Structure 1
Amino acid sequence: MADITGDQRIQSEVLEGLATAVNHRRWFVELALPYLGDNPIEIGSGLGDYAIEWAEHLPRFTATEADPDRLVLLKERMADYPNIDVKQMLLPAPESNGEYSAAVSYNVLEHIEDHVGALSSMKDLVRPGGRVIIIVPAFMFAMSDVDYATGHIRRYTKKTLSAAFVDAGLEIEKIHYANALGLLGYYTATSIFKLAPKEGPMVKIYDSLVLPVTKAAERIAKPPFGQSVFCVARVPR
């Protein structure tokens, strides 16, 4: 099996910092929600922030985590949510029962060397006609010390992510960039000022002032670039 690379401590610090970006998370929750179906599985749930918000709208949800220490914390947190199951999962995975309505994974694929194998495993987890929903960081020029420290192997364009989906046997329904202003802010912070996106005033200002403007603009027209690539693909029937 392929392992997830990077410093787990730094990954946790970044996750904790980004957990304070409430508007950003709610935007990305909304992007996937129409495609999740009635029984989705999330690959790489981290601290469970997305899982909790998605599960509010669903009868059943499965959250997963590869790191054993983070898995313990995830199980403890999800004990208060009876419709959320928690399990350990590392991709590529041998499980292929196809019982889930969708597989969703945010900011995980860029950590995995065999990303086509990981997408293929997600496809095998989902019943025919269901979806695989992915968000990954965009554009290699934005690759920074923060990316390497958190275990990023690559960043994507629509073209490179599309190629991985097609190689995994998935049928792309939707793919676009998201959070154009976020890319500019991330590049400035991490590549020029050498800062990590941890909890603090910079994240709060971005989330409260910049993010709502970006979200509103991108509802009108999808940008030609962004901090992330969002993709929805169907599992062939």
Structure 2
Amino acid sequence: MNCGKLTLESMSQAVWYNQWTIKKFEQFLKGDILEVGCGIGNFTSFLTKYGNVWAIDINEQYVTEAKKKVNGKVKIGIGDVEKGNYFFKGQKFDSIVCLNVLEHIKNDGFALKSLYNLLEKGGCLILLVPAHMFLFGKIDKSIGHYRRYNKQQLGDVLKGIGFKIIKARILNMVGAIGWWFASKVLSNGTVGVGKIKLFSLIAPFVLPMEDIIEPPFGTSILIICQK
């Protein structure tokens, strides 16, 4: 069983959450936009209203599925930020979106430097990564996570590369509770459609509170930084 693909397919059902997430950073989307690690295109089609979108992934099957979803509106191809290889040549971007990807990359430091080099001067990198190593469990292992992140430490790494941090915050406390219970207590290895449907029922009533105040913990860290 491909747990990574199962998770992507499950998350495609979380339409409200995906749109809520994009609203957290939409003001930083402009011009030429690159989505790194587009997967099967769960976020890709949402990005097209903000600018000209390119998208890359290292998985040919995912690229094929993502192309079907966007219906020719996005330039999609193979790209590997860990190796610095892309289907395009010489292109620079005003915004780079990297959502739930960095944790899958062994040499994440090199990947971040690659993203820095792909940005235009003044361009923004939008990162969404899993938060808190205390949440690391069977699900993380099964879907290929090398790590979860600490907000302060990741911010320091980005500043060391040359980025200016514009925004950094924790997201999705209710999801973190569910993740901990499923991964640590139930020892589940996947994020199935049933869990996502339950989350999707709860999220619209709970997550808007995070628009007012940052939660003390959550599934994710959102960092927006500028070159």
TM-score, normalised via structure 2 length: 0.92
**Residues 192, 75 of structure 1: CA spacing in aligned structure 2 closer, same or farther, 3 A cutoff?**
same
Query: 1:37 Cα deviation (Å)?
Result: 1.1
Q: Is the partner of 1:41 in helix, strand or coil?
A: strand
Q: Is the partner of 1:49 in helix, strand or coil?
A: coil
Deviates more, 1:144-153 or 1:90-99: 90-99
1:11 aligns with 2:1: no
Deviates more, 1:65-74 or 1:142-151: 65-74
1:216 counterpart (193, 208, 212): 208
Q: Deviations over 1:171-228 (max 9, x none)?
A: 111100000111111101111112221112x32121122x123321111111121110
1:21 aligns with 2:14: yes
Who is 2:59 aligned against? 67
Who is 2:126 aligned against? 133
Uncovered stretches (5+) of structure 2, i.e. residues with no partner: none
1:234 aligns with 2:214: no
1:144 counterpart (137, 154, 176): 137
Query: 1:52 Cα deviation (Å)?
Result: 0.4
1:111 aligns with 2:101: no
Query: 1:75 Cα deviation (Å)?
Result: 2.5
2:41 counterpart (38, 48, 53): 48
1:87 aligns with 2:81: no
Q: Is the partner of 1:40 in helix, strand or coil?
A: strand
Query: 1:98 Cα deviation (Å)?
Result: 5.6
Identity %: 25
State the one-letter code of the partner of 1:75.
Answer: K
Q: Deviations over 1:4-34 (max 9, x none)?
A: xxx8x21001110111111111111112211
Query: 1:49 Cα deviation (Å)?
Result: 1.6
The count of residues paired between Structure 1 and Structure 2 equals 223
User: How big is the alpha-carbon RMSD for the aligned residues of Structure 1 and Structure 2?
Assistant: 1.7
Who is 1:197 aligned against? 191
Q: 2:8 touches 2:42 (CA, 8 Å); kept in 1?
A: no
Alpha-carbon separation, structure 1, partners of 2:205 and 2:145: 28
Query: 1:94 Cα deviation (Å)?
Result: 5.3
State the one-letter code of the partner of 1:149.
Answer: S
State the one-letter code of the partner of 2:67.
Answer: K
Q: Deviations over 1:13-66 (max 9, x none)?
A: 1110111111111111112211111211000000112010111x2341111111
Q: Is the partner of 2:178 in helix, strand or coil?
A: helix
2:177 counterpart (181, 184, 194): 184
Alpha-carbon separation, structure 2, partners of 1:160 and 1:198: 31
Q: Is the partner of 2:123 in helix, strand or coil?
A: strand
Q: Structure 1 stretches (4+) deviating beyond 6 angstroms?
A: none
Alpha-carbon separation, structure 2, partners of 1:181 and 1:115: 27
State the one-letter code of the partner of 1:133.
Answer: I
Alpha-carbon separation, structure 1, partners of 2:51 and 2:21: 20
State the one-letter code of the partner of 1:175.
Answer: A
Alpha-carbon separation, structure 2, partners of 1:183 and 1:226: 5
Who is 1:166 aligned against? 159
State the one-letter code of the partner of 1:199.
Answer: V
Alpha-carbon separation, structure 2, partners of 1:214 and 1:167: 35
Deviates more, 1:131-140 or 1:154-163: 154-163
State the one-letter code of the partner of 1:114.
Answer: N
